[in-house]
Structure 1
């Protein structure tokens, strides 16, 4: 399954949109491979990109005083904690690709079009 980046996911913040689009691309790179030599560096890049994405998005939420910021940030932290946990497994020689794929698919198909869309709607008001 390839995750499609849609223009409707944009928040009209150049930095946030660029970083999030790259996270989609990395997720697709991860989903497309079964080669451990490819997957290992990609999972590390996914963790770094997710952290950067969430930092940028959270800074934006603080700037605009987004009312659901705490709950949104908690969701970011939960995803990041799970992603880092799976990354640590990779460092120990165990790749749970289905778990990582499920995390990223959930982020792309639930968090982005629902939670991030609420932030985008707030920004347009």
Structure 2
């Protein structure tokens, strides 16, 4: 866990790619917003947290809809994690409104610890399920020295 005085950059890692282009793009955007929140000066925390909440709300709602529509086996566990993150974020935002800075710093650090395993386990399983439903195949992630490339999302998702 990063402590509240830790200003390390939260860099995107290609090991977080799940092989679904739209998910991968949205996860990269989430990582950028989280990096901004982690590095934000106190007077920018609210704006950065609001941007992250907005992105996460839309992204989680979209994933949740896919899981319901495709009858994803682990949907309840996955959706419960999304809901817990959003509840925590909104609670932290209320405390930030009251002038409490440290809960926002701790939340950002905990989110940075939560994000990689969530993507690597739950979101990668969702990407696999989507590809299985669309093409009866597994998602592919091609790594090169320059950058990684993922397959396009199926049209029904």
Moved more, 64-73 or 115-124: 115-124
Q: Can you list the C-alpha shifts for 1:63-107, whole angstroms capped at 9, x where unaligned?
A: 221011111101111111111111111111111243212332133
TM-score (structure 2 length as normaliser): 0.69
Please list, as runs of the form range in 1=range in 2, the aligned pairs for 1:1-125 lying within 5 A after superposition. Answer: 1=8, 2-6=10-14, 8-14=16-22, 16-33=23-40, 35-95=41-101, 96-125=103-132
Equivalent residues of 2:64, 2:79 under 8 A apart: yes
Greater relative contact order, per chain length (Cα 8 Å cut-off, separation 6+) = 2
Q: Which structure's CA Rg is the greater one?
A: 2
Deviating above 4 A after TM superposition, structure 1's stretches of 4 or more consecutive aligned residues are none
Equivalent residues of 1:47, 1:80 under 8 A apart: yes
Distance 1:5 1:39 in 2: 24
Equivalent residues of 1:43, 1:87 under 8 A apart: yes
Equivalent residues of 2:37, 2:45 under 8 A apart: yes
1:8 deviation in Å?
A: 4.6
Equivalent residues of 1:79, 1:103 under 8 A apart: no
TM-score (structure 1 length as normaliser): 0.85
1:10 deviation in Å?
A: 3.6
Distance 1:99 1:8 in 2: 23
Distance 1:80 1:103 in 2: 13
Give RMSD over aligned pairs.
1.9
Q: Which has the higher helix share?
A: 1
Structure 2 stretches lacking a partner, 5+ long: 1-7, 133-157
